[in-house]
């Protein structure tokens, strides 16, 4: 299995631009999580899905952030418009029935 | 709400020495506990987990952890550290609707440096 796949691995964009991060979960995993990691705030859960349905989005910082999971094989996290304080590493993780979350390699986002 | 405290931000040990990383949790019910490791520029990798049963759990790379309910602790140990163990280590507690451990709350991490 290829594991959780995230793209792009690095993204540099200017303030105000739209950013879309992508995640392909491990086949058969029915939970998908989006996290953000920064030096100041550590690892934060933004939102998670179960069977493609958003269960808890209480960690999404602002309306500028949105996430979708149109099918079991794909999820996106979108920031529109982006701001410099959104600069962070964004991780996607997925989980099957054994409660173990498997993390992708992350997307390092830099907003200038 | 659940929380995790990792009191040591940074630890330095010599290669071959033993290691113990501390983790204290707060959760009202029986917790699901995890240790993850993150190498620079990488995602998090699961080292081990505790759900129930034997309070001493074995993980990958020679790591083990002991769940102590009376102390609300889940400390990570390794008898002999290798230089390749240098990384950041995160403790996490799981909770969620109907005890599914869906949401993980992570500690702030402990950065391990290994000297040769």
What's the CA gap between A86 and B1, in Å, rounded?
26
Phi (first) and psi of residue B94, to 5 degrees:
-105, 140
Please, which pLDDT band fits residue A62 given cuts at 50, 70 and 90?
confident
Confidence label for B104 from pLDDT (cuts 50, 70 and 90): confident
Which tokens belong to A25? 């979960």
**Cα atoms found within 13 Å of the Cα of residue A20, Cβ hemisphere only:** 6
Contact check, Cβ <8 Å, B106/A100: no
pLDDT at B99 > cutoff 60: no
Strand partners, A67: A77
Count how many Cα atoms sit within 13 Å of the Cα of residue B4 in the half-sphere of its side chain. 29
Contact assignment for A103 to B90 by CB distance below 8 Å: no
Residues 6+ apart with CB under 8 A from A77: A20, A21, A23, A34, A46, A47, A65, A66, A67, A90, A92
Considering Cα of B21, then B27, then B30, then B36, what sign does the dihedral take?
A: negative
Spatial distance between the Cα atoms of B89 and B34, rounded to a whole number of angstroms: 11
Q: Residue B100 has what pLDDT?
A: 62
| Residues of chain B with C-beta less than 8 angstroms from the C-beta of A30 | none
Which pLDDT score is estimated for B31? 85
Chain B interface, best mutation among A7, A43, A50, by max B CB count within 10 A = A43
Read off φ and ψ for residue A25, nearest 5 degrees: -80, 170
pLDDT in tens, B31-67: 889 999 999 888 999 999 998 888 999 999 999 999 9
Cβ separation of B94 and A4 shorter than 8 Å?
no
For B20, how many CA atoms within 13 A lie in the half-sphere containing its CB? 6
A47 pLDDT higher than 90: yes
Report yes or no: A99 at the B interface, CB cutoff 8 Å. Answer: yes
- Contact (Cβ atoms closer than 8 angstroms) between residue B50 and residue B57: yes
| pLDDT at residue B54, as a whole number | 87
The per-residue pLDDT for B71 is 94
Taking CB atoms and an 8 Å limit, are A99 and B106 in contact across chains?
Answer: no
Identify the pLDDT of residue B51.
Answer: 86
Nearest to A45 among B90, B97, B103 (CB): B103
Inter-chain touch B46–A100, beta carbons under 8 Å? yes
- Residue B97 has a pLDDT of 56
């Amino acid at each position: 299995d290829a594991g959780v796949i995230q793209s792009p691995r690095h993204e540099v964009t200017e303030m105000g631009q739209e950013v879309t991060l992508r995640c392909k979960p491990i086949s058969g995993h029915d939970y998908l999580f989006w996290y953000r990691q920064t030096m100041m705030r550590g690892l934060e859960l933004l939102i998670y899905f179960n069977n493609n349905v958003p269960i808890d989005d209480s960690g999404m910082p602002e309306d500028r952030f949105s996430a979708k999971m149109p099918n079991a094989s794909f999820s996106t996290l979108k920031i529109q418009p982006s701001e410099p304080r959104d600069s962070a590493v964004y991780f996607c993780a997925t989980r099957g029935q054994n409660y173990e979350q498997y993390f992708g390699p992350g997307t390092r986002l830099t907003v200038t | 709400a659940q929380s995790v405290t990792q009191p040591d931000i940074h630890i330095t040990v010599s290669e071959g020495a033993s290691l113990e990383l501390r983790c204290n949790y707060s959760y009202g019910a029986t917790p699901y506990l995890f240790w993850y490791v993150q190498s620079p520029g990488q995602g998090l990798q699961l080292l081990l987990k505790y759900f129930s049963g034997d309070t001493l759990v074995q993980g990958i790379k020679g790591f083990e952890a002991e769940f102590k309910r009376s102390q609300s602790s889940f400390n990570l140990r390794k008898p002999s550290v290798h230089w390749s163990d240098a990384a950041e280590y995160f403790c996490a507690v799981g909770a969620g609707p109907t005890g599914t451990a869906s949401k993980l709350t992570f500690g702030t991490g402990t950065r391990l440096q290994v000297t040769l």
